[in-house]
Amino acid sequence: MADAVGPDRRAPLVWDTRKTTPGLRGLEKAAVRAGGGANHRGNLSDWVMLKDNHLALVDVADAVRRARQLWPGRTVHVECDELSQVAAAVEAGADAILLDNMAVDDVLEAVAMARGMAGRPPLLEVSGGITLETIGRYAPTGVDCISVGSITNSAAVLDIGLDIDAQ
């Protein structure tokens, strides 16, 4: 995945997700770093992640404000699957925005919007359905990172056996 992004691996970074094989998180995250990627949050408590289920009950601004009250100092990350949510998250002062399951053209528009708004732009992450075949299309969009769950939660295992020869 890191090679498919291109030779300039500073941006966007290929990120793993917190979704790992039980008991193997440390090894899988080390493998991502060894392969040229970077580690996202290690578990649910590292960042405050406001996902679509949360935002179904409260608007983005209220969710960001409440997250900052409850967990001061934590990164507030807002999942957006529509451009209107991106604008709301930037206006609310989100630290990071996850552009979830967006087409490349929508990601380009979201990046331009977020970078063009007043204030410090948030970290922009794209995720959702990214494959080895599609990652190269997202790399030049201007996002800071591309998260790919399959590099940990769907990695193939190596079947190793040890046979003892009695002779």
- Confidence band for 144, pLDDT divided at 50, 70 and 90: very high
The yes-or-no verdict on residue 83 having pLDDT over 90 is yes
Residue 66 CA to residue 81 CA, distance in Å, equals: 21
107 within 8 A of 82, measured Cβ to Cβ:
no
Share of the chain above pLDDT 70, in %: 95
For residue 8, the model assigns a pLDDT of: 66
**Model pTM score:** 0.85
- pLDDT per residue over 96-118, tens digit each? 999 999 999 999 999 999 999 87
Domain 2-153 fold is: TIM Barrel (3.20.20)
Residue that has been written with the tokens 């040229």 in this structure:
36
Domain range summary for the chain, segments of one domain joined by +: 2-153
Give every CB contact of residue 19 below 8 A, 6+ residues apart in sequence. Answer: 149, 152, 153
116 within 8 A of 85, measured Cβ to Cβ:
no
Higher-pLDDT residue of 153 and 27 is 27
Active site residue 19: yes
Strands 145-147 vs 96-100: parallel, antiparallel or unpaired = unpaired
**Average pLDDT score over the chain:** 88
Residue 73 CA to residue 16 CA, distance in Å, equals: 23
Cis-peptide into 12, omega within 30 deg? yes
Cα–Cα distances in angstroms (integers) from residue 47 to residues 43, 73, 102, 107, 135, in the given order = 8, 9, 22, 23, 25
Q: What are phi and psi of 97, to 5 degrees?
A: -130, 130
- pLDDT per residue over 117-133, tens digit each? 878 889 999 999 899 99
Selecting among 19, 51, 65, 68, the annotated active-site residue is 19
